[in-house]
Amino acid sequence: LIGKYFGIIEMITNRTLEGTVVGILIAFIPLAFLFQLEIAFAIAAVGMLAEYLPIEDNIGIPIVAGLTATLLL
């Protein structure tokens, strides 16, 4: 929603840079309580970049984030 209302820099598939950055920060906060900060940020960043995949966000983001966590741990 942040990207929809405040986004200026358009990316591909109707996504904004601002929305992606806020999504990474929002995902990072709870992950930082569970993992080391570097791992938490990597999981959040890769997970949010998965929204650019040509599959449904609700399927792609959890799968990619989970695979990233599995590979890093």
Q: With a threshold of 0.85, does the pTM exceed it?
A: no
Supply 63's token pair. 């799968």
- Secondary structure class of 36 (helix, strand, coil): coil
- Cα(70)–Cα(73) distance, integer angstroms: 5
CA distances to 8, 36, 63 from 16, in Å = 7, 28, 22
pLDDT the model gives residue 8 = 66
Please state, rounded to an integer, the average pLDDT across all residues of the chain: 85
Higher-pLDDT residue of 19, 62: 62
- Cα(72)–Cα(33) distance, integer angstroms: 16
